[in-house]
Amino acid sequence: MFTDDDVASFERDGYLLPGRQLFGADKLDALEAIFDEHLADKGDKLSDELDTPHFRDPRLLEFLLSDEVLDVVEPIVGPDIALWTSHFISKDPMVGRGTPWHEDSAFWNGRLSNYERIVTVWLALGPSRRENGCMRVIPGTHSGGFSDYVAADSAKQTFDRQIAEVDESRAVYFELERGQYSLHDGRIVHGAEPNTSPLRRTGYTMRYFPASTEVLPVEQNRGHQIWLARGNGAAGTAYANR
């Protein structure tokens, strides 16, 4: 799927914008229909809080463990791939909360033995544009270690903390059409502005890591399910599909 230059670009900048579709039309429609069910059944959760839906809905494994996704991930992660997590992220029209500047890895600190080559595939289930709060990243920040954080207003933002200092003038905005996808390193500084448009912004994130990485026996990992997506798994790791 990717050339050596593409992989080198990802390693340098921490992201890729391939500009192409991930799934065929029928498969994309099926995934969106599953999302619509989850949104309708969310109860008192906010629309951006539909985390790890595949724990509850095995239909999503058809997408998460598919060759379409794993062929995209393998050039970066390697041949032995584990599924870390997934998340439906939906920003409601006009009122969708912003996502403060953060590193995904900061929320996993202490849970894994290594944070290199963790890749997120961000699939747009509808148009993702600046006006409806598309993702934005600061290129090259995936190699800087953990940042310093300060408190954030969780009523207006999806998290209660944010990176203290970010040069927003360097931001790259991930504008995607429905069905297109992006890739980003789990350590890159990224976020999103609030949705101020009448258009819902919805994405499905699919996160993978090298199966050689150890999932540490800490309280935060209790009950967290890991799937071996491709290749050989690490000795001693309990996979949900074994």
Residues 125-142: tens digit of each pLDDT: 999 999 999 999 999 999
Of residues 31 and 42, the one with the higher pLDDT is 31
pLDDT at 105: 96
Q: Tell me which residue of 115, 110, 135, 120 sits closest to 224, measured CA to CA.
A: 110
CA separation for the pair 120, 174 (Å, rounded): 13
Where residue 228 falls among pLDDT bands split at 50, 70, 90? Answer: very high
Residue-wise pLDDT tens digits, 156-191: 888 899 999 999 999 999 999 999 999 999 999 999
Domains of the chain: 4-230 (2.60.120.620)
Runs of H (alpha helix) within 78-217 = 104-107
What integer best gives the mean pLDDT of the chain? Answer: 94
CA separation for the pair 64, 133 (Å, rounded): 24
Position 46 pLDDT exceeds 80: no
pLDDT at 236: 76
Q: Tell me which residue of 123, 86, 70, 41 sits closest to 229, measured CA to CA.
A: 70
Coil vs helix vs strand at 219: helix
Residue-wise pLDDT tens digits, 105-118: 999 999 999 999 99
Q: At CA 66, angle to CA 61 and CA 68, rounded to 5?
A: 145
pLDDT above 70 coverage of the chain, percent:
100
pTM given for the model = 0.95
pLDDT at 144: 81
